[in-house]
C-alpha cells in the first residue's frame, strides 16, 4: 500500500534534503485523504488515476491510499487513517460493506445492474462509467462503413460492462437488420484458463462466416482474439477484422497484427471524478452525479485495415489508400499504379462505396490527423505534414469543415 501526498512542495523537499526543519514545517498538509480502490494493472484504471492526480496537483494537495493490482482492492480503515473520501471499483459485497461502513463521500467506478437497483444502498452513490451504447454504436458504424455484412462480439462472461456492450451492439445492429454472432466463453473452470480456452475460441472463429468484423470487449480480449485467429489459420484482417476498446497502446502494439481500438477519454473522466469528490467532501455538492467516459474515436491499426468489396480493382485501391494512410498518394498515382482507367475506377468506386476515391483519401488523412492530435504533442503544422495534407492552411480549413472546429480546438476539447 502506498500513502502518497501529491504536492509540488513535497517534491522540492525530496530533492533538497538540506532545507531547514523550519522550512519543512511550512509545507502544506494534505487537504483531504482519499482511498483509490482502482485497478492499476489496466489502462482504464491508470488513466483514471492520472486525471485524479492532475486535479490534486491543481487543487490539492491530497493524500492517497493506493495499492497496485487488478480489480480486487483492499479498503483501508478509513477512520483510523483519517480518510475523507473514496473512489472505488466495487467488485463484491465484502468491499461494498466496508465502503458503506466508512460513511465518507464515495464515487463508484462501473456499478453493476444489481448495485444500481433501488433496493441496493450502492445505487445512491455517484458513479463514473463508460458509455456502452456510444462505444458499441461507434464500433458497429465502423464495420458498417467498411461494408461488413457479418459481425460478431467476443466478451468476458462474468463482467457486466462486457454484457452491456454486447447488448448495445446487438440492439444497434438490429436497427440495420444485422444479428451479430456472440461468443459464449466456457463455463467450466478448467476451460477458462486461457491456454485451454484459446483452442475453443480458435474453433469458434474458424466456423464463423467470412469476412466478418469482430468487436472485442476490451484490448486484452482483442489480443486474445488475434492469437486465436493465428491458431485457427484465419487471415487478419482479410477474413476477420478485429477492434478492441481502451486503446491501450502497449497491448495494441504487442498484438500481431497491431490491434485497432476505441480510444476513451478516461483521464478527463478521472479529473471530473476528482472534482466531483472535492465538491462532495467540502459540502458544496449534496447529490449524486453520473460521469460518463466519452469515446473519442477508433484508432485504426492493421487488425482492421480493410473495406469489404467484391470489385478487385476497388479493393486494391482501398488497400493502397489505407496501408499508406493517405500519405504521398493522389487519385492519379493510384490509377497509374493499378494501370486502370480513371473514369472506370471512379465509377466503380462510387458504386461500391457511395463515395469518391478522393473522399476516401481525405477521410483516411482526417482520421490519421485526429489520432496524431490526440496521441502526440506534434504541432498542427507537423500533424498536417505527417497526415499527408499539402499545407497547414488547407489542413486547418479542411479539418474545420469536417469537424466543426479547428485542430487546436479539437485537441484542447478531447485531451485533458
- Residue whose cell numbers read 466543426: 404
Q: How far apart are the C-alpha atoms of 210 and 50, rounded to whole Å?
A: 41
Weakest mean pLDDT among 28-37, 44-53, 141-150, 272-281: 28-37
Considering the domain architecture, whether residues 104 and 70 belong to the same structural domain is answered as yes
What is d(CA 80, CA 204) in angstroms, rounded to the nearest whole number? Answer: 52
* DSSP 8-state symbol, 303: G
- When the pLDDT of each residue in the chain is averaged and rounded to a whole number, the result is 89
Measured between alpha carbons, how far is 69 from 88 in angstroms, rounded to an integer? 13
Distances (CA, A) of 195 to 179, 231, 394: 30, 12, 51
Is the same domain home to 118 and 138? no
pLDDT reported for residue 24 = 38
Local structure of residue 28 (DSSP, 8 states): P
Q: What percent of the chain has pLDDT over 90?
A: 69
pLDDT of residue 416: 57
Is residue 350 over pLDDT 50?
yes
For residue 379, the enclosing domain spans: 312-414
- Mean pLDDT within 100-124: 93
State whether residue 57 is helix, strand or coil: helix
Contact (CB, 8 A) for 201 and 141: no
Whether the per-residue pLDDT at 345 is higher than 70: the answer is yes
pLDDT at 397 over 70: yes
pLDDT at 50 over 80: yes
In this structure, the answer to whether residues 29 and 104 fall within a common structural domain is yes
- Whether residues 83 and 125 share a domain: the answer is yes
Residue 5, pLDDT > 60, answer no
Both 256 and 154 in one domain: the answer is yes
pLDDT value at position 60? 81
Residue 187: pLDDT band by 50, 70, 90 thresholds? confident
Residues 143 and 256 in one domain: yes
Does the pLDDT of residue 188 top 80, yes or no? no
Q: In this predicted structure, what is the pLDDT of residue 77?
A: 87
At 335, which CATH number?
Answer: 1.10.10.60
Q: Does 6 score more than 50 pLDDT?
A: no
Average pLDDT, integer, range 164-192: 90
Q: What is the mean pLDDT of residues 225-254?
A: 95
Same domain, 357 and 256: no
Pairing state between β 32-37 and 85-88: parallel
Report CA-CA distances (Å) from 256 to 170, 196, 240, 266, 304: 27, 20, 13, 25, 12
* Distance from the first to the final alpha carbon of the chain: 27
Q: For the segment 314-338, what is each residue's pLDDT rounded down to a tens digit?
A: 989 998 998 888 899 999 999 999 9
Answer yes or no: is pLDDT of 372 > 70: yes
Q: Structural domain tally of the chain? A: 3
Q: What CATH number has the domain bearing residue 99?
A: 3.40.50.2300
Q: Does the structure show a pLDDT above 80 at 27? A: no
Grid cell for residue 366: 482526417
- Res. 1: pLDDT tops 60: no
Higher pLDDT, 326 or 344: 344
Give the pLDDT score at 210.
Answer: 95
Give the residue from 416, 414, 413, 370 showing the smallest Cα distance to 395: 370
Contact 6, 65 (CB under 8 A): no
Q: Do residue 136 and residue 248 come from a single domain?
A: yes
359 and 328 in one domain?
yes
The β-bridge partners of 2 are 66
CA atoms within 13 A on the CB side of 380: 17
**Are 253 and 398 members of one domain?**
no
DSSP H or E run through 346: helix 342-353
Residue 139, pLDDT score:
98
Which residue reads 485504426 in cell numbers? 300
pLDDT of residue 13: 36
Confidence of residue 122 (pLDDT cuts 50, 70, 90): very high
- Look at residue 78 in the predicted model and tell me its pLDDT: 86
Q: Are residues 257 and 137 in the same domain?
A: yes
Q: Are residues 9 and 111 in the same domain?
A: yes
Amino acid at each position: 500500500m502506498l500513502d502518497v501526498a501529491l504536492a509540488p512542495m513535497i517534491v522540492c523537499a525530496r530533492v533538497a534534503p538540506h532545507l531547514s526543519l523550519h522550512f519543512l514545517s511550512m509545507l502544506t498538509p494534505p487537504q483531504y485523504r482519499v482511498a483509490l480502490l482502482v485497478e492499476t494493472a489496466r489502462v482504464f484504471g491508470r488513466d483514471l488515476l492520472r486525471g485524479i492526480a492532475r486535479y490534486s496537483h491543481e487543487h490539492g494537495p491530497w493524500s492517497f491510499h493506493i495499492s497496485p493490482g487488478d480489480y480486487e482492492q483492499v479498503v483501508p480503515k478509513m477512520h483510523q487513517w483519517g480518510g475523507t473520501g473514496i473512489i472505488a471499483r466495487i467488485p463484491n459485497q465484502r468491499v461494498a460493506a466496508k465502503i458503506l461502513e466508512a460513511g465518507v463521500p464515495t464515487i463508484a467506478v462501473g456499478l453493476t445492474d444489481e448495485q444500481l437497483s433501488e433496493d441496493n444502498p450502492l445505487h445512491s452513490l455517484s458513479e463514473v462509467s463508460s458509455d456502452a451504447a456510444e462505444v458499441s454504436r461507434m464500433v458497429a458504424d465502423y464495420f458498417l462503413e467498411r461494408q461488413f455484412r457479418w459481425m460478431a462480439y467476443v466478451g468476458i462472461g462474468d463482467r457486466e460492462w462486457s454484457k452491456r456492450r454486447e447488448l448495445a451492439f446487438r440492439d444497434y445492429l438490429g436497427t440495420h437488420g444485422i444479428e451479430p454472432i456472440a461468443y459464449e466463453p466456457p463455463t467450466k473452470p478448467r476451460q477458462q484458463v486461457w491456454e485451454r480456452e484459446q483452442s475453443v475460441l480458435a474453433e469458434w472463429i474458424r466456423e464463423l462466416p467470412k469476412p466478418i468484423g469482430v468487436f472485442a470487449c476490451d484490448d486484452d480480449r482483442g489480443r486474445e482474439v488475434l492469437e486465436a485467429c493465428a491458431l485457427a489459420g484465419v487471415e487478419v484482417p482479410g477474413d476477420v477484422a478485429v477492434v478492441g476498446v481502451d486503446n491501450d497502446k502497449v497491448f495494441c502494439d504487442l498484438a500481431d497484427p497491431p490491434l485497432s481500438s476505441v480510444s476513451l477519454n478516461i483521464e478527463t473522466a478521472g479529473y471530473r471524478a476528482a472534482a466531483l469528490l472535492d465538491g462532495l467532501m467540502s459540502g458544496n455538492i449534496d447529490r449524486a452525479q453520473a460521469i460518463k467516459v466519452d469515446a473519442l474515436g477508433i484508432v485504426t491499426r492493421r487488425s482492421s485495415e480493410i473495406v469489404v468489396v467484391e470489385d478487385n480493382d476497388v479493393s486494391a485501391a482501398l488497400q493502397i489508400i489505407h496501408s499508406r494512410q493517405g500519405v504521398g498518394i493522389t487519385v492519379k498515382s493510384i490509377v497509374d499504379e493499378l494501370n486502370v482507367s480513371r473514369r472506370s475506377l471512379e465509377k466503380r468506386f462510387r458504386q461500391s462505396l457511395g463515395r469518391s476515391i478522393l473522399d476516401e483519401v481525405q477521410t483516411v488523412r482526417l482520421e490519421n490527423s485526429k489520432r496524431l492530435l490526440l496521441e502526440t504533442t506534434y504541432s498542427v503544422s507537423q500533424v498536417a505534414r505527417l497526415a499527408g495534407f499539402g499545407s497547414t492552411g488547407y489542413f486547418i480549413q479542411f479539418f474545420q469543415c469536417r469537424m466543426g472546429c479547428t485542430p487546436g480546438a479539437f485537441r484542447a476539447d478531447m485531451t485533458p
